[in-house]
């Protein structure tokens, strides 16, 4: 009964959607455990590209049940749009294949408004939020004044929650220069959302435990990456949830004894969207090569991603805090054509070599990277399906990364297409 957690090891955008799609035929359930519509997973099948923000990418496989766990903050507008889009593509003919936790908190329109207004007010000190209302929704969860999915299907409970929170929210909106909450409009939205989503809303913790009892295989899917974790990331330039493997437990309602492996998805170079320190960032032709060849634009925001050399310090940090047992290396094909490759193996901070990621963002901005250099390779590797089809320089690069991180690489992705992978060892 192998149950695995899949997490990103950098600042997100590592290619988790594609890899989860690759692994899904081997599992019975996929559980999304944190984040919201600020994340985007992209799966390319032939000429068709599917971008999902809330629905687990396992939904593209008919045998798989997909669950949105209690740790997710759920935007009903985005979820309904995604379900409609999946219907149009011929997926999700059985609504019971998608379950939504009745304990998941709801992203309301006022959360989006507050998020955008706050970011605008920060000016040059902005943190790079997507403006999707994720942070304000998690705030309401922590202060115990949030609205949960269970409240959507009970108009009286929904109205009671609004009565408690509207006066406070309107005060904040007034200070920020926003538009006051219209309770009648929200009541109308509740009815619309409930009518559409009620068949999906259920106690998903029971579903997960029933699946485990029946010996089914479960994949726990995270969003964003370790360096965006609220506790272990580059604070304050982080998201509002625990993106690490521990978040899979609280975000889905299982204990640590249920997990057999933690798989880290790692890009062959490093990217970041938005503000915050980025030690290996490149602003030269190598960075441009990665941006252009890797099509580095955010699936959620459309923003151009910042690119840089592989940062082994960052990924070793991810290996520690997640308890990684296996790695999947993605976008190796993007590096083809670069004569020399560099890997950051340590930092220098105020004249002293360090092998860890500082907690202070200002210190991380000051670090100098200590690099090791290796040979690049020429030619397109997107058709390679076994390690012996890769150039020797690519072999050496993969081995170097695995040695620096201390975790074996089991799968290598060599292109965006669903089939463009080299399976070194089976994850299951």
What is d(CA 89, CA 176) in angstroms, rounded to the nearest whole number? Answer: 41
Active site residue 261: no
SS3 call for 307: strand
Residues 290, 318 contacting (CB under 8 angstroms): no
Residue with tokens 């993106």: 243
Residues 227, 315 contacting (CB under 8 angstroms): no
If phi > 0 it is left, if psi is from -120 to 50 it is alpha, else beta; for residue 75 that is beta
Q: Which of 21, 28, 41, 417 is catalytic?
A: 41
Residues 267, 15 contacting (CB under 8 angstroms): yes
DSSP structure class, residue 49: E
Active site residue 13: yes
- From the centroid of its chain, how far is CA 69? 14
DSSP conformation letters of 338-365: -SEEEEEEEEEETTEEESS--S-HHHHH
Tell how strand 368-375 and strand 340-349 pair up. antiparallel
Active site residues: 13, 41
């Amino acid at each position: 009964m192998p149950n695995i957690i899949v997490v990103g090891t950098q600042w997100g955008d590592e290619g988790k959607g594609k890899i989860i799609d690759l692994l899904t035929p081997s599992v019975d359930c996929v559980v999304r455990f944190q984040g919201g519509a600020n994340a985007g997973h992209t799966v390319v099948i032939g000429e068709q590209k599917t971008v999902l923000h809330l629905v687990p990418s396992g939904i593209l496989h008919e045998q798989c049940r997909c669950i949105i766990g209690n740790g997710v903050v759920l935007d009903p507008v985005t979820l309904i749009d995604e379900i409609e889009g999946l219907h149009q593509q011929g997926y999700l003919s059985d609504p019971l294949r998608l379950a939504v936790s009745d304990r998941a908190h709801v992203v309301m329109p006022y959360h989006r408004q507050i998020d955008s207004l706050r970011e605008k007010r920060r000016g040059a000190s902005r943190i790079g939020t997507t403006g999707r209302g994720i942070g304000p929704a998690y705030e309401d969860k922590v202060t115990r004044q949030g609205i949960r999915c269970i409240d959507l299907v009970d108009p009286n409970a929904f109205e009671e929650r609004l009565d408690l929170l509207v006066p406070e929210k309107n005060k904040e909106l007034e200070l920020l220069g926003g538009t006051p909450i219209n309770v009648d409009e929200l009541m109308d939205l509740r009815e619309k959302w409930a009518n559409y989503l009620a068949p999906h809303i259920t106690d998903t913790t029971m579903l997960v435990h029933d699946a485990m009892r029946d010996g089914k295989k479960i994949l726990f899917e995270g969003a964003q990456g370790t360096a965006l974790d609220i506790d272990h990331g580059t604070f304050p330039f982080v998201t509002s949830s625990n993106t690490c493997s521990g978040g899979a437990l609280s975000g889905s309602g299982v204990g640590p004894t249920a997990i057999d492996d933690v798989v880290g998805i790692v890009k062959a170079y490093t990217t970041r969207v938005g503000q915050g320190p980025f030690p290996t960032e490149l602003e030269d032709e190598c960075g441009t090569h990665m941006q252009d060849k890797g099509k580095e634009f955010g699936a959620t925001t459309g923003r151009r991603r910042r690119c840089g050399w592989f940062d082994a310090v960052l990924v070793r940090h991810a290996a520690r805090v997640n308890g990684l047992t296996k790695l999947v290396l993605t976008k190796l094909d993007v590096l083809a054509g670069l004569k020399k490759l560099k890997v950051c193996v340590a930092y220098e901070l105020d004249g002293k070599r360090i092998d860890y990621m500082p907690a202070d963002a200002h210190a991380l901005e000051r670090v100098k990277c200590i690099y090791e250099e290796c040979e690049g390779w020429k030619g397109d590797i997107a058709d390679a399906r076994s390690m012996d089809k890769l150039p020797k320089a690519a072999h050496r690069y993969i081995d170097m990364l695995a040695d620096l991180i201390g975790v074996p690489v089991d799968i290598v992705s060599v292109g965006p297409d669903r089939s463009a992978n080299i399976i070194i060892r089976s994850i299951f």
